[in-house]
C-alpha cells in the first residue's frame, strides 16, 4: 500500500471518529433545544388562544354589563323592549337576551321569547341575583321549542347574567343572555387550526366540553387533564392513548378583565412532529454538508500528499535500482523537507560509490 493512501485512510478514520462524536454531541444539544423550544411554543400558543377566546367572550359580557348598568332604576312593566332587542340582533352569538324582575318574570326579551314566563328556577337568574355570573355550557330547556335548530346536535348555551339595581341600590331584576355555544366552538376550532394545536376545554368536574381532535379514548387520566381539573399550569411531553407523543400544556382559567369565571381550563397539545420534522430536515442538510466537507478534505489531502511524497517515491525507486545493481538516474537535491534532503544525500552518496569501480577500470 502506498504511503499516501495509508495516510489518507488514517485521516479519514480520524475525521470520521471526530465527526461522529461531534454529531452525537450536537444531536443531543439539538434535541434538548428542540424540546425546550416546542414546550415554549405550545405554552405561548395556548396562552394566546386562551386570551383570544377570553377576549371574544369578554366583548359579549361587556355589552351585558353595560346594558345592566343602563337599566338601573328602569325595571318594571313599562320597560323599553328596544334596549333589550339591540343586543339580540346577532343571533350567531347571542341566541337570547332578556330581563326578569326580582321574582323571575321575564319583562322584555329579544324577539319577545319567554316574555311573561317565569325563569326563577334557572341557574343564571338565581346566580344573577347575587352578582355577575358566567354559567357553564348547558342544553336549551325553555328555549328549545322556540329556537329549534333543525340539526342533529341540540342547542347549547353559555349563560351571562348580571343584577339590575333600582334607584336605592337594591336588586330589582336580572339581565340574562344565552351565548350560542356553536359560535364559541367555531371560534376555538378556527383559532386552534391556525395555531396547529389540538385544544380541549375542561370544566371543574373534569368533563371535556369541547375538543378539536376526534379522540375516542378516555383522556381524563392523563396528567394534563388532572392538572386542568386541579387548576394548575403544567407543560410537558406526554404519551396520549393513541400511542403518540405530544407537547402538552394546561391553562387553568379563561379570564379577561371583569369577565366572570366559567370554571374552564384549557388543555392543548402540539404534535411531536413539530420538532422532529424540523430536526430531520436539519439533520439531512447537516449530514450532506459533512459528507461534502469530508470528501473535499480527503481529496485535498490526497493531492497535497501526492505533491509532498513524490520526491520520496523517486528516492525509493532509485534505492531499489541501486539494490539491484542497475544504473540509476541522477538524483537532484531536494530542499523541500529535511528528511527528504537527508535521503537524497544518502542516495547520491551510494550512487557515487557504485560508479567509482567503473571509473577505476576506465583509468587503468
Cell numbers at 74, concatenated: 328602569
Of the candidate ranges 11-25, 61-75, 151-165, 208-222, the one whose mean pLDDT is the lowest: 11-25
Which is more confidently placed, 20 or 103?
103
pLDDT tens, residue by residue, 308-331: 666 666 666 666 666 666 666 655
The answer on pLDDT for 26 being more than 70 is: no
Number of residues in the chain: 364
What is the reported pLDDT for 84?
A: 84
Integer Cα distance of 249 and 76 in angstroms: 49
Q: Which domains can be identified in the chain, with CATH numbers? A: 32-271 (3.30.450.20), 279-363 (no CATH)
In the chain, where does DSSP find H-type helix?
Answer: 3-70, 81-85, 123-128, 181-195, 223-229, 273-324, 338-363
Q: Kindly tell me the sign of the dihedral angle through the C-alpha atoms of 216, 159, 264, 123.
A: negative
Closest CA to 238 of 229, 250, 230: 250
| Sign of the alpha-carbon dihedral angle for 188, 268, 225, 54 | negative
What is the Cα–Cα distance from 18 to 193, expressed in whole angstroms?
44
Residue 100, pLDDT score: 96
Is 200's pLDDT higher than 90? yes
Amino acid at each position: 500500500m502506498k504511503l499516501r493512501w495509508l495516510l489518507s485512510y488514517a485521516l479519514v478514520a480520524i475525521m470520521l471518529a471526530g465527526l461522529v462524536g461531534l454529531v452525537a454531541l450536537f444531536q443531543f444539544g439539538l434535541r434538548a433545544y428542540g424540546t425546550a423550544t416546542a414546550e415554549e411554543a405550545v405554552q405561548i400558543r395556548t396562552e394566546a388562544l386562551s386570551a383570544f377566546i377570553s377576549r371574544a367572550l369578554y366583548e359579549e359580557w361587556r355589552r351585558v354589563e353595560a346594558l345592566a348598568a343602563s337599566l338601573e332604576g328602569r325595571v318594571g312593566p313599562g320597560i323599553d323592549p328596544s334596549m333589550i332587542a339591540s343586543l339580540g340582533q346577532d343571533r350567531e352569538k347571542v341566541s337570547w337576551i332578556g330581563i326578569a324582575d326580582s321574582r323571575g318574570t321575564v319583562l322584555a326579551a329579544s324577539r319577545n321569547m319567554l316574555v311573561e314566563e317565569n325563569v326563577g328556577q334557572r341557574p343564571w337568574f338565581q346566580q344573577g341575583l347575587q352578582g355577575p355570573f358566567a354559567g357553564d355550557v348547558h342544553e336549551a330547556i325553555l328555549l328549545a321549542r322556540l329556537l329549534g335548530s333543525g340539526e342533529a346536535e341540540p342547542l347549547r348555551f353559555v349563560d351571562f347574567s348580571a343584577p339590575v339595581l333600582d334607584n336605592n341600590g337594591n336588586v330589582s331584576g336580572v339581565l340574562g343572555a344565552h351565548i350560542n355555544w356553536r359560535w364559541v366552538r367555531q371560534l376555538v376550532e378556527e383559532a386552534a387550526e391556525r395555531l396547529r394545536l389540538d385544544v380541549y376545554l375542561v370544566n371543574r368536574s373534569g368533563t371535556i366540553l369541547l375538543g378539536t381532535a376526534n379522540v375516542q379514548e378516555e383522556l381524563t387520566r392523563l396528567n394534563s387533564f388532572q392538572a386542568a381539573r386541579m387548576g394548575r399550569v403544567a407543560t410537558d411531553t406526554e404519551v396520549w392513548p393513541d400511542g403518540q407523543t405530544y407537547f402538552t400544556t394546561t391553562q387553568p382559567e379563561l379570564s379577561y378583565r371583569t369577565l366572570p369565571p366559567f370554571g374552564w381550563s384549557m388543555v392543548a397539545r402540539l404534535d411531536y412532529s413539530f420538532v422532529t420534522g424540523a430536526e430531520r430536515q436539519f439533520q439531512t442538510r447537516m449530514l450532506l454538508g459533512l459528507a461534502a466537507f469530508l470528501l473535499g478534505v480527503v481529496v485535498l489531502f490526497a493531492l497535497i500528499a501526492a505533491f509532498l511524497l513524490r520526491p520520496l517515491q523517486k528516492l525509493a525507486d532509485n534505492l531499489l535500482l541501486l539494490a539491484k545493481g542497475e544504473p540509476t538516474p541522477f538524483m537532484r537535491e531536494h530542499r523541500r523537507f529535511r528528511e527528504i534532503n537527508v535521503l537524497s544525500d544518502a542516495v547520491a552518496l551510494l550512487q557515487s560509490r557504485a560508479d567509482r569501480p567503473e571509473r577505476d577500470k576506465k583509468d587503468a
